[in-house]
Structure 1
Amino acid sequence: MSVAASVVQPLPSHALMVLLLQLGVLLLCALLLGRLAERLGMPAVVGELAAGVLLGPSLLLHLAPGIGNRLFPQSTEQMHLLDAVGQFGVILLVGFSGIHLDLKLVRRQGARAAGVGLAGLLVPLVLGAGLGFLMPAALRAPGADHTVFALFVGVVMCVSAIPVIARTLIDMKLIHRDVGQMILVAVTIDDAVGWVLLSLVAAMATTGLYTGEILTTLGEVGLLLLATATAGRWLVGAAMRAAGRAGVPGLPLVTAVVLMTLSAAGTHALGLEAALGAFFCGILIGGTREFDTASLAPLNTTVMAVLAPLFFATAGLRMDLTSLADPEIALWGLAVLAVAVAGKFLGAFLGGLTTRMNRWESLALGAGINARGVIEVIIALIGVRLGLLTVEMYSIVVLVAVLTSLMAPPVLRFAMNRVEQTAEEELRGHRFLTRTGAAPPPAPTPAPTTTADP
């Protein structure tokens, strides 16, 4: 056989043109609607999701089916091309969530924050799984195991979103408060455990509910955690330090991308979720000594300004809000929202009270960790890929992610207005504002003047 005969044919010209049009239109709409959402005091992700909703089956395919089908043809091959671009953005987005995790803060808060985080995780997990068992078959994808579906709903209920919550705390000037710090640590614990649980459920969805397979998956997770804490920590640290010392422009950025994508490929090869590997790798990069993560700022900007909005717009394309016009589906949607909110608030509130926080601080904790944001959208799309969620259930989960993110700021403001700021918090807040350039450093105290003796 000749060499030329073995060459794979390139992407067809028409498919490439459609992909480029899709990327350009989605990114433009996501940019415009994201900025509009921020002007209205909402998270940018709301506008970015709305871009996909408006261009998808919820609106465009109804108003102008000819244009909608030409721009976003419902063919498997074309959607897979778009999904591939979005998945790359997800891996980097989740990886940067891990980079922003403050390990020193986690160690400092210790057991107290672990109690709050686990309470805020277990209560919604149990309530969500219970609700999943009660849901009708119409909300499960054909062939989906009822138990696996219920466990997936529980995982959906228990996650939070570090990027959305951190941004909310910074915008509201609460990041330096004790409650703000506790929220960040609790959310960090929730997300780390949530990704592990998601990987277990994903493995069950692909291999089945067999004791041997479940034990094998648990063993793989244990080995992954051990490898991350030992060899992974050494390898990632050595690679990032070498890239930082090389003095080659852009080398730390490329190294970080390579490490996160290879880590994602490794966990995916184990039958776990690819995002879990990217998240653990991000934690290791952020905790690398003698390496300044500020050098990754250009990559962070690219991910947050280009790849993440593109992913959320693509996620919005899969939503069909017209399906929620069915009274039964709408009622189940309200039930999911009620259980999601009540589970997080109740868990965090009880966790706060048991760690000797007052009721207003506990209420603020519940409001903070209730925001699901970007992480729940990512998990919802994973549920579709695993063959667990219908379009209706997917739309419900994404709406819960948006609504809980919108609820967090007003409830936080209401609760924190009743919590007195301590002198230590005020000093910490001034240091934070000075470090970020939002406030000028304190003026130096003038030296006392002396007069000569006559």
Structure 2
Amino acid sequence: MFSLTGQEISHFLFAMGCLLACAHLLGFLAEKIFIPRVIGEVAAGLVLGPTLLGHFFPGAFQWLFLGFESEPKLFALLYQLGLLLLMFSSGLKFQTHFSKEDAKITSALVIGATIPAFVVGWFAAGLFNITPYLGTANNPVAIKIVIAIAIAITSIPVISKIFNDLGIMHTRFAKIVIACAGIHDILLWVALGLATAIASQTGVITVGSAVQSVGISLAFIVGTLLLGYLLFNKLTIIKQNLLFRSSNLGYFLFIMFMLASLAGNLHVETIFGALLAGVVAKLALPKAVSERVDQGVSNISFSWFIPIYFATVGLQLDLVKHFNPLFFLGFLLFATLTQTIAVYVTSRLIKLDPLTSFNLGIAINDRGGPGIVLSSVAYASGIINQEFFAVLVMLALVTSWIPGTWLRIVVNKGLRLMPGDENMTPIKREDIVETKTIN
């Protein structure tokens, strides 16, 4: 009942191995030229997918990834697991300790980086003809919400990776950016839940149904954070918790799957459950335990599932047949300017200097993983079609590239990221490893 033939297993393992190897290779090469790894991983899907291999050698592409009936479903399963683990990892990077001044700055940026950008995106979507980009759900309201989210969203995983690579994760600047990204992404996932709920309705959309969808999402967030915090605090590190004692990582993966399942049954996106599982673990557990979980999840996720997820995103793109470069450039310029201006103006209003304000505007513009997740969910829900799916993925990739390049210039020139980081010395991962080895 649960078996595959030996030939099917061999075929799938070969195809997956090729995709995984290509994702790691191109991700590694991307990092060598100071490009975020995610760009190389998605590029692996472009190389082996319809954009290149499928365009020049369609038979080879069909044989490799559509070789037997259930092969696409196997890749779909890995894709979903990678997506859940990406969101869980994002939650584990949530920031929990702030000074009073940093909390004020973060709160101002959450409001200033989210509301204006979202509102501008919403009204801009109404000014342009979005009909050619509607998905199978054929719902203009849902696609307007997705466009607004695409303008305002920020990536925790990619911007964290950039900070780690530059050795500035310990700075005040990094802490504020990651906290801002985490909080306002949670708010935007609520909006995405509303969009998918609206898209799934076949009848007339009412205010009541919209309020109900948002209410369920908010109740799920509050309930998970409160109840999860209490349970994690009281029941995790006790002698009677045999599952935690038998496997720390297995215990938290179990929690993640259960919350994701609960979210799906409540018609909230499953990724929401995975994200909140990570957030609760970071908030409720001792630092040493949450860091150990983060390391364990990262080891398995970023070596297999997450690269496969990003590469599979690339497999779904056909930039030869379903991509409008001129529309993309216009959308990229509009999205980048809107988000940067919103953050810059907010920063200046709270008395931050021009360079700090610009640094924050560029960093918070990084859409990265969440931008790709947004496009994946919206495409799978029928909100957008393949052309706009490609636009949103490319938007996420390009806006991941810009912050890495700019912040590298700032660090290399010895410029200040923000007040409090004047005497900042970059601490890179290899320095930490070397120090531990010496000690």
TM-score (ref. length: structure 1): 0.86
Query: In the alignment, which of 283, 287, 290 is matched to residue 293 of structure 1?
Result: 290
2:38 paired residue number: 45
Structure 1 unaligned residues grouped into runs of 5+: 1-7, 442-454
Structure 2 SS opposite 1:322 = coil
Q: Aligned partners of 1:412, 1:433: CA distance in 2, in Å? A: 15
* Counterpart AA for 2:72: M
Deviations 1:139-165 (A, max 9, x none): 222342112111111112211111111
Match of 1:271 in 2: 267
Q: Secondary structure at the match of 2:110?
A: helix
Give the alignment of 1:247-396 within 5 angstroms.
251-290=247-286, 292-296=289-293, 297-323=295-321, 329-396=324-391
TM-superposed CA distance for 1:412, in Å, is: 2.8
Partner of 1:450: none
CA distance in 2, matches of 1:262, 1:247: 14
User: In structure 1, how many angstroms separate the alpha carbons of the residues matched to 2:363 and 2:369?
Assistant: 14
- How far is 1:68 from its partner? 0.9
State whether residues 35 and 404 of structure 2, in contact with CA within 8 Å, keep that contact through their aligned partners in structure 1: no
**What is the 5 A alignment of 1:176-191?**
176-191=170-185
Measured after TM superposition, the shift of residue 439 of structure 1 is 7.8
Structure showing greater radius of gyration is 1
Cα 1:116–1:76 change in 2 (3 A) is farther
Q: Distance in 2 between matches of 1:207 and 1:107?
A: 44
Match of 2:199 in 1: 205
Structure 2: how far apart are the matches of 1:311 and 1:276?
17
Report whether the alignment pairs 1:144 with 2:142.
Answer: no
Q: 1:379: Cα distance to partner?
A: 1.4
Write the distance in 2 (CA, Å) between the matches of 1:64 and 1:347: 45
- CA–CA distance in structure 2, aligned partners of residues 230 and 99 of structure 1: 17
Match of 2:211 among 184, 193, 215: 215
Q: Does structure 1 conserve the Cα–Cα contact (< 8 Å) formed by 2:85 and 2:297?
A: no
Q: State the 1:37 CA deviation.
A: 0.9
Q: Shift of residue 57 of structure 1? A: 0.7
Cα distance per residue 1:223-275 (max 9 Å; x no partner):
21231232222223344323898697761100010001110111111111111
- Say if 1:43 and 1:406, in contact at 8 Å, map to a contact too: yes
Please give the alpha-carbon distance, in whole angstroms, between the structure 2 residues aligned to 1:440 and 1:422. 27
Between the aligned partners of 2:76 and 2:243, the Cα distance in structure 1 is 35
Q: Partners of 1:68 and 1:24 in 2: how far apart?
A: 15
Alignment of 1:400-415 (within 5 A): 400-414=395-409
Q: Provide the rounded CA distance (Å) in 2 between the counterparts of 1:167 and 1:98.
A: 14
8 Å contact from structure 1 (residues 176, 425) kept in 2: no
Match of 1:5 in 2: none
Q: Is the 8 A contact 1:105 1:185 kept in 2?
A: no
Structure 2 CA distance for partners of 1:434 and 1:337, relative to 1, 3 Å:
closer
Whole-Å Cα distance in 2 between the matches of residues 136 and 44 of structure 1? 32
Structure 2: 5+ residue stretches without partners: none
Partner of 1:30 in structure 2?
Answer: 23
Aligned amino acid, residue 345 of structure 2: L
- Alignment correspondent of 1:62: 55
Letter in 2 for 1:377: I
TM-score, structure 2 as length reference: 0.89
**CA shift digits 1:159-215 (9 cap, x unpaired):** 111111112123223334433332222212222212222112111111362222112
Contact 2:23 2:307 in 1 (8 A): yes
Deviation (angstroms), 1:345: 0.3
TM-superposed deviation, 1:426: 6.0
Root mean square deviation of aligned Cα: 2.9
Q: Superposition pairs for residues 410-421 of structure 1, below 5 Å? A: 410-414=405-409, 417=413, 419-420=415-416
Seen in structure 2, the aligned counterparts of structure 1 residues 240 and 141 have a Cα distance that, compared at 3 Å, is same
Return the alpha-carbon distance in structure 2 between the equivalents of residues 142 and 106 of structure 1. Answer: 48
Q: Is 2:139–2:199's contact at 8 Å kept on the other side of the alignment? A: yes
Asked whether the 8 Å contact 1:183–1:369 carries over to 2, the reply is yes
Is the 1:204–1:214 Cα contact (8 Å) retained in structure 2?
A: yes
Q: Is the 8 A contact 2:165 2:429 kept in 1?
A: no
Letter in 1 for 2:119: V
Query: Which residue identity does 2:42 align to in structure 1?
Result: L
In structure 2, the residue matched to 1:99 is 92
Task: Call closer, same or farther: CA 1:235–1:351 in 2, change over 3 Å.
Answer: same
Instruction: Report Cα offsets for 1:400-437 as digits up to 9, x if no partner.
Output: 1111111112323455658547995367758x779972
The answer to whether the 8 A contact 1:236-1:259 is kept is no
CA distance in 1, matches of 2:248, 2:39: 32
Return the structure number with greater relative CO, CA threshold 8 A, min gap 6: 2
